[in-house]
Every structure is written in C-alpha cells, then in structure tokens.
C-alpha cells in the first residue's frame, strides 16, 4: 500500500507529465496525435481534481473508477472545478487511447507519469511487479487529490482494492 508523504495543506510538488492534447481530429482511434508536456505549474490559480489509477484499461480503473467522473462532469464544473485530470504510469499514447475509449474528449486530461516519478515524490507509487504475476512494475496507486492553487485540500488514498475515497462521489462531497 502507498505511504503518502504529502498531506492536506501541502503545496503539491512540481511535476511534468506527457499527454496527447484532445482535438476533434485525434478523436479517431486510428489517429495517434503528438505527445506534449504539461507541468503542475499550469494549475496555478485553478481548482483541479486529479485522479490516479494503477493502469489504463485495467478492470477497476476502466469500469468503475473513471466512468463516474465522466458522468458527473457537470457536477464538478458546477462546484468550481477548472480541470479534471487522471494520471497513471502508462505512456501518453496508451492514455490517449484510453481517453478515446472512455470518451474523455476535452473533459478529462489523460496524463502520463511513465516512470511514476512524480507520484513517487508524493509517496503514492506502488510496486506491482509481483501482483497476480502480471508484472505491472512500478505504478501510480489509486488516489484522488483536490488542488486549489496547487495546495492539497483533499487527499483520498484507497486503503485497499476498490474505489471508495478516490471515487467521484467522495471527491464531489469534499468540494
């Protein structure tokens, strides 16, 4: 399990992620797009919900964790959220494909922390090298953050398998 080194009230460490920007032209599964970088600095002065999952296209992440965020997007916006983003240790192309498969479009920003470097700074990476013999390696753990001008106002780290404190309903309740 993850052992967070950050707490509510902390300013989130600076980090850089890869992502493929959404455009109508890249909405086609056959279109790859060009990865670009984004820094946490882009969130200065904004309210951001950041969801972290162990992997795109994995059962809990794909079927249970992200769909409610898409379905409740308007509720997040009504509570003043400027950006919803999801981060995982998959590469930017996989994250782009996952966003297309789930219909993120411009609602959820799919971010790649490919070596879990930023997530490790938070104490929220997890070694899944031996989990179910799938050999997933170092991954981002399952959690959600609410950032207000880069300050952590909510940190929901899952204590076990499943989605509770990092789910859309828990995060909406914390806003």
Active site residues: 61
**How far is the C-alpha of 167 from the C-alpha of 117, rounded, in Å?**
23
Q: How many C-beta atoms surround the C-beta of residue 30 within 10 A?
A: 6
């Amino acid at each position: 399990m993850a052992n967070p080194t950050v707490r509510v009230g902390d300013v989130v460490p600076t980090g850089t992620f890869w992502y493929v920007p959404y455009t109508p032209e890249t909405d086609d599964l056959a279109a790859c797009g060009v990865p670009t970088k984004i820094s946490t600095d882009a969130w200065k002065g904004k309210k951001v919900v950041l969801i972290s999952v162990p992997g795109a296209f994995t059962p809990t992440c794909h079927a249970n964790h992200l769909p409610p965020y898409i379905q409740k997007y308007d509720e997040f916006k009504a509570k003043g959220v400027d950006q919803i983003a999801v981060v995982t240790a998959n590469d930017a192309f996989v994250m782009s494909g996952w966003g297309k498969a789930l219909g993120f479009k411009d609602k959820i920003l799919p971010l790649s922390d490919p070596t879990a470097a930023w997530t490790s700074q938070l104490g929220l990476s997890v070694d899944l090298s031996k989990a179910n013999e799938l050999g997933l390696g170092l991954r981002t753990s399952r959690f959600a953050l609410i950032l207000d001008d880069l300050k952590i106002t909510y940190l929901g780290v899952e204590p076990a398998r499943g989605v509770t404190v990092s789910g859309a309903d828990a995060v909406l309740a914390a806003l």
